[in-house]
Chains A and B, each alone.
Chain A
Amino acid sequence: MKQLLVEKYSIRLYGNCSVGVKEGVVRTALDFVPATTILGAAASAYLLYACDGSALCYNCNARCPLRQIWDALKQRELAISHFVPVSQQEGDPLKEYFLYWFQLRKRAPRKSVHAHVALNRAVKGAQQMVKVGSKSEAELRGLFYGDEVWAPPSNEFYGFLAASSRDTLVAAQEVMSFLDLAQLGGRGKYCFVEVTGREPLTSVNAFLGELSKSWDKGSQLVAAGGLAFTQSEAEQNLLRAYSLRIRAVDIERMVPRAYTDSRYVSLYELLLGNVERIYVSTTDPPPVLRIDEYLPEWSLTGMPDLKLSPLGWNRVVPVNWVKGHVQAK
């Protein structure tokens, strides 16, 4: 990216909302809203509420705002960050955003668990567990399960869009305006989204300058929001990473395939093609890296060459910068 136009988006969630992973019969909530969830929710609402194309989205040649942002993501002309809980502290939103990842134990979202039980339609009582053969916990979820959801004040989140051109930013704004009507997250039918603010950021250059000063060649970097890379990237040993615990995510199982005759699209399929596995590092503790080269704008766009960078991952900042601020706090 040559020149960066950065906009801050704030959202508030209403109802029981969460994005998480199933662990046994409980869907746990993450400490952030992944960029892919934000983008997917907005895109899905755009397709439902505004798309006029008659062709399937994969094959459609219309120059709609959605297609424009797909292309921009692929070309790395657009990047979206994960969304984190709104900080109660005043200060530069960019700084606060990056510091969030290093203060998770203090600032992680407040959560509560909602237990559900299905009523057996045949006997009108609570559904009993019926375990057949090797029936897995995942299958039992439909009968008795819990949802960890974000509780106030952690129902307000914010994040950033960074674009390299005004046209791309306008297209992204158009698609993001549908976030207001979108279903978001695992219990989307009980969750309503409200975009509470959209504002251009003027402090970007000052922030990047600060990062630049904090890095000397060979010093350590730390990934805010985690690392994610695909199988081939992992095999290339591209990252000489340590203190890194990696969780492998089988994308085939994680992302429901869009119907072949559907206009809905899979972000992963669009951006990554036929990738079999994605590796996601944990965010707590944040992974520390030693890389020979570093550009401060990677904090907004993610590390170059990694396919998942435009989708909120692989944002690195110098360890010295973090130390300075966390200690100061």
Chain B
Amino acid sequence: MVWYEKLGSFAAILYELRTLSHVRIGSGENIKLPTPIDNPQTRILRLEPGKAEGKWVVYIPASSLHGVLRSTLEDYMRTQLSPYDNKTVKDLKKDLENANVKNVNVEGWKSFLERVGSYSESIPGFDELPLYREVCYTTLEFDACQVPPASAAKKYYLTSIVGRMDSNEAHLPCFVCQLFGATGLRGRVRILNAYPSKETMETLPLDVITRVGINRVTGAAEEGRLFDLEAIPPGAAFYFFVVINNAFERVKLHYDPQDSQRCKEEERYKQYKEGLGVDEDLNYIALFEKSVELVSKGLVPIGAHGTVGFGNVEITELARFETRDEKTTREFIKVLTKRVSFTGNELRDELLKINEKYSQEGKDILKVKSDKIPDLDDSLYPWLARKLAELARSKLSKSQQSGASG
């Protein structure tokens, strides 16, 4: 399997995340944070330049964003696509019992079957669970994509039973793992923590919510069930930065013997595009944006207490750098890697120059999607995010000036 080893396209995107309801990302019980609340909201220490003392800043961890975007895409794909050969776990068990595979000894099968069976207790209706080719259950060990598969039995399952293989009969991970990564396979998406804007960083209030468990028999408050928790209030804005390598590369389809026939593969791409409601092409950025869209529509909550109204957010893209072909990408990256040797505004000027060059060909590298671009804090956002925000603001002010003079 040849993976993404050369960069053919690139996207670096700045998003705004605005809370529509309370949002709570807990820090765990054993983390020492400056708060007396039972269940504190997670915070990060931010230092003043050159000082050892700092302030605690409320933030949304990148791993929570990554997790929610990933699981949303998984859910969406399972909703929109059909199970592979309409298989369920029950069929899988039958398939495994009848399997006759070289290189898998009796112990290997026994162990694999034992692992499949171990979920029967913890997942109600486990036998009816549908199995998909395009999306795996990352938390079910037997079904999770893995490169290379840990055992011959698992390889047989991944390639022959759920069809996740390439034309060489090697395991090709599901669409979601191709984008977000799997065990042994680096994902294409990198996400930074979401921090509040510079202006609100120190003033962002947190709500303290007190709750109590009700005794179902007496209807009164249950003793010892009083607790409080911290949560981010509705209306708070956070900003996060995402980089997607080879963003515009098409998702790799799993092998189908009919693909060798003319146009069959294109037909499959078309079917997937329609099935998944993707506008442009079935590429990695399209899948990522679909996931952002679903979270942003409030279909999936972020963080804890999602079933009691917490976690609704709106995510808006503010600006992005994007390159769609290898030539533009290489040229863009070349400028970025000279950063350390540039002084003053040289990097900004070089980026503007290259953007100008390609915008004349209709291939803008810098795209600004909002008229409010925040000033990002030096100590929390990396240079590429800061540069993106700076250039986006400069582009906006130019267009406002030319609009005013026009």
Contacts and interface: CB of A to CB of B under 8 A. Distances in A.
Contacts of B192: 14-15, 190, 192
Interface string B299-331: 000000000000000000000000000000010
A189 B61 contact: no
A14 B382 contact: yes
A121 interface: yes
A275 interface: no
A18 B68 CA distance: 22
A86 to B, nearest CB: 10
B85 to A, nearest CB: 19
B138 A121 contact: yes
B119 interface: yes
B191 interface: yes
B28 to A, nearest CB: 4
Interface stretch (B151-159, B213-221, B334-342): B334-342
Given A14-B192, A16-B61, A190 B118 contact: no
A152 B5 CA distance: 33
Interface string A1-25: 0000000000000111000000000
A180 B336 contact: yes
Interface in A2-53: 14-16, 47-51
Nearest to B137: A121
A132 B115 contact: yes
Given A14-B382, A152-B47, A189-B66, A119 B139 contact: yes
Contact of B382 (A88, A189, A193): A193
Given A122-B123, A132-B118, A142-B183, A16 B45 contact: no
Contact of A121 (B7, B139, B186): B139
Contacts of B186: 183, 188-189
Contact of B62 (A178, A181, A190, A261): A190
A164 interface: no
B140 A177 contact: no
B190 interface: yes
A253 to B, nearest CB: 13
Given A130-B118, A189-B187, A193-B382, A16 B67 contact: no
Interface residues of A, number: 53
A177 B337 contact: yes
B380 interface: yes
A113 B140 CA distance: 26
Interface in A99-151: 110, 112-116, 118-123, 127-128, 130, 132-133, 139, 142-143, 151
A263 interface: yes
Contacts of A121: 71, 74-75, 137-140
B62 A112 contact: no
A242 interface: no
B63 interface: yes
B326 to A, nearest CB: 10
Interface in B122-138: 122-124, 126, 129, 137-138
Interface residues of B, number: 69
Contacts of A177: 337-340
A114 B63 contact: yes
Nearest to B43: A112
Contacts of B190: 183, 188-190, 192
A67 interface: no
A14 B381 contact: yes
Contacts of A153: 47, 52, 54
Contact of A48 (B144, B245, B334): B245
Contacts of A139: 141
B191 A113 contact: no
A262 interface: yes
Nearest to A123: B123
A143 B187 contact: no
A90 B349 CA distance: 34
Contact of B189 (A88, A189, A198): A189
B404 interface: no
A187 B44 CA distance: 17
A244 interface: no
A153 B379 CA distance: 10
A48 B340 contact: no
Contacts of A123: 122-124
A133 B117 CA distance: 12
Contacts of B46: 152
B237 to A, nearest CB: 19
B338 A88 contact: no
A88 B74 CA distance: 46
A164 to B, nearest CB: 22
A264 B5 contact: yes
Contacts of B334: 50
A41 B138 CA distance: 26
A242 B383 CA distance: 46
A120 B5 contact: no
Interface in A77-105: 88
Given A14-B382, A112-B31, A122 B5 contact: no
A282 B385 CA distance: 38
Contacts of A152: 44-47, 54, 379
Contact of B383 (A114, A128, A151, A194): A194
B114 interface: yes
9 contacts: A14-B192, A16-B193, A88-B52, A127-B139, A130-B118, A177-B337, A180-B383, A192-B241, A195-B339
Given A49-B333, A192-B241, A262-B2, 5 more contacts: A128-B122, A189-B66, A190-B61, A195-B340, A256-B184
Interface of A: 14-16, 47-51, 88, 110, 112-116, 118-123, 127-128, 130, 132-133, 139, 142-143, 151-153, 177-178, 180-181, 183, 187-190, 192-195, 197-198, 256, 259, 261-264
